Structure 1
């Protein structure tokens, strides 16, 4: 009896096909996971600013602008930039997060943004739009939506 060592060609081809199928499913899922995790991380970085912005409104009567960013503790993030956008109605405004154009942000998020908007009554909501400038709704955490 002859002892055969190694794999046959058909066995190797089956293994390569299985690896191809698994990677065809896994890579897009992984990219989607990375995008969602970066959006969630930036979203949660804005949460403390909701409190400090509301305190600023109580003390000064207006929503803070970018000149007050150090007073309310706006963090510097590698993923993007935070802007404070007061509106014409006293006490209302938005905190805008814009993803950076560098490699720190995923390619699907570069230069896209979303907003946390405060009404004059103190209610906050997350806002995005269906334009190329905004983060797609499918990547935002639950509870975010269009105005």
Structure 2
């Protein structure tokens, strides 16, 4: 009588593989969600950075800060950013000047919905970004330069 050899995996081996995949997914999905939130929040910093030079030129030319960001900046919203506003010394001559970006309330990661990030200049030429406003974004979702 010939003995047949079985080929393939046993049920326990398949269950072990599925358990390993489940553990890896449980770790990877939250990390991926944080990565998505960080990439969406970086849009706010990028859009505000685009206003630094126009703001400095406006102040240099007029001697006062603009009363609204729309008077100097072309892009005030994005795919994930609802608005960018000047929130400090609008129409004034003193510093600091602040730009505030507010994230959208939908179609963004739940950890940054409606949150705000601020970019401040105390000299007119150097800028710093940080969480701020009434509903500040968690620093872990900001680019590394803004976490300090």
Q: TM-score normalized by structure 2?
A: 0.83
Native 8 Å contact 2:50 2:73 kept in 1: no
Q: Higher RCO, 1 or 2 (CA under 8 Å, sep at least 6)? A: 2
Distance 1:121 1:76 in 2: 23
Deviations, residues 60-117 of structure 1 (Å, cap 9, x unaligned)? 2222232x514432343121211122427614321110000011x1110001001111
1:102 aligns with 2:103: no
Distance 1:14 1:65 in 2: 63
Q: Mind listing any 5+ residue stretches in structure 1 that lack a counterpart? A: none
The 5 A counterparts of 1:123-142 are: 123-129=126-132, 133-142=135-144
Cα 1:121/1:53, change in 2 over 3 Å: closer
Native 8 Å contact 2:99 2:119 kept in 1: yes
Which structure's CA Rg is the greater one? 2
Q: Secondary structure at the match of 1:143?
A: helix
Distance 1:13 1:22 in 2: 14
The 5 A counterparts of 1:67-86 are: 69-80=70-81, 81-86=83-88
Structure 1 window deviating more from structure 2 (131-140 vs 8-17): it is 131-140
Structure 1 window deviating more from structure 2 (69-78 vs 94-103): it is 69-78
Q: TM-score normalized by structure 1?
A: 0.84
1:25 aligns with 2:27: yes
Distance 1:49 1:144 in 2: 17
CA RMSD, 1 decimal: 2.3
Distance 1:128 1:72 in 2: 21
Q: Mind listing any 5+ residue stretches in structure 2 that lack a counterpart? A: none
Q: How many residues align?
A: 143
Distance 2:134 2:28 in 1: 26
Cα 1:91/1:74, change in 2 over 3 Å: farther
